[in-house]
Amino acid sequence: MRLLGRVLCFLSITVAALALLIAGVLGGLLLWFRPPFGGALHAPLAMGCATIGLAVSAAFFTRARWRALLLFLPVLFAVAAWGGSIIPLNDRDWDPSVARMPTGVIEGDVLTMQNVRHFTWSSVEAANPERWEQRRYDLASLVSVDLIMNYWMGPHIAHPQISFGFTDGTKLIWSIEVRNLRGQTFDALAGLFRTNELVFVAGDERDIIQRRSHFSNEDVRLYRLMVDPVLMRRLLLEYVADANRLAATPRFYNTLTTNCTSVIVKLIRAIKVDVPFDWRLLLNGHLPSYLHERGALAEGYSLEALMEAAAISARARTLPDSPAFSRQIREGIPGIAPAAN
């Protein structure tokens, strides 16, 4: 029994030491990516916090553990207080592509959207003209929902987008993104530490899709979702409601908990559709596999056939100025009748 007690004591000390080390490292990363005092001291503050965490972790295996902990707790509280004081904002110097937040007003069957993005891109960073438009959509004529997957980091990680289609051929595509500052690039690690706000982009398909297929050289794939018309409308209205809330009350993007996939899952759950947790919701490049198993994609096709037919990048690159862009990229997509693209 004495040996067992010693083993349990050692294990509990090890767990506590590891927790303190992790706290020190996470605090250091927060101070690195979102430092106080204008960032002038970000390196020494970050290294100091991480080093203190390491020293206290090591001290936990000595008789000085409690003294070390008492010295470290004020540091942890100070870092936690700093992190809690960082709030999301809507009035920063945004990258032009996310400078405006879409909002919508619903009157009967008419949805009026403000700040629908319709840029004409000349490179992944430059567009001319930069158009933000007001557009109206007839909710009674909503007939389709498509999932668009943009593979930018191999086959396992993608950026999913949802596009709603209407009987007149109009499309409204939604992209949930990091709201970068002007000149800023996305950093997945920094995205864990309140460095960026979340943004909804409502846009024209030629803008949203062509930027990625033409200039980012991403593998873009499009799938028709088999969704009941009632749920289709509820999902669109939930997008509008969430965008309105975000325009009024900004939120931080988080690489793990509040990202493009997690927000889409939240929206789908908001319309009471069951979305049980699955590893493919994390490695979201496999989202089509998840949806295929649940019968949400066109029936009668293997997953491999659906994925092959879904590839639209090459076709999109041949249609830079086509007024029928949305219809033409959907030719041959399973589940989409030729006359109903």
240/243 Cα distance (integer angstroms): 5
> What token pair was written down for 103?
């909002």
Q: How many helices (H) and strands (E) does the chain have?
A: 10, 8
- pLDDT for 309: 96
β-pair type (219-224, 197-203):
unpaired
Structural element, H or E, at residue 173: strand 171-179
- pLDDT for 202: 98
32 Cβ partners below 8 Å, 6+ apart? 42, 43, 45, 46
- pLDDT for 271: 62
Q: Is the pTM of this model over 0.85?
A: yes
Which residue shows structure tokens 């009941």?
228
Q: What residue type is assigned to position 242 of the chain?
A: D
299/140 Cα distance (integer angstroms): 26
Q: Cβ(219)–Cβ(311) under 8 Å? A: yes
Mean pLDDT, the chain cut into blocks of 10 residues (341 residues total): 74 89 94 87 91 91 88 93 95 96 97 97 92 98 95 89 96 96 91 94 95 90 92 93 97 90 78 77 89 90 96 90 90 84 64
163/225 Cα distance (integer angstroms): 10
β-pair type (219-224, 132-138):
unpaired
- What are residue 198's DSSP bridge partners? 178
Cα within 13 Å of Cα(266), Cβ side: 11
- pLDDT for 298: 94
209/271 Cα distance (integer angstroms): 26
275/341 Cα distance (integer angstroms): 27
DSSP state of 299: T
What does residue 42 show for φ and ψ, rounded to 5 degrees?
Answer: -65, -40
Structural element, H or E, at residue 162: strand 157-166
Structural element, H or E, at residue 133: strand 132-138
217/206 Cα distance (integer angstroms): 15
- pLDDT for 1: 61
- pLDDT for 178: 94
Q: Cβ(283)–Cβ(157) under 8 Å? A: yes
Q: What residue type is assigned to position 143 of the chain?
A: V
Among 20, 203, 56, residue whose Cα is nearest residue 127: 203
- What are residue 135's DSSP bridge partners? 113
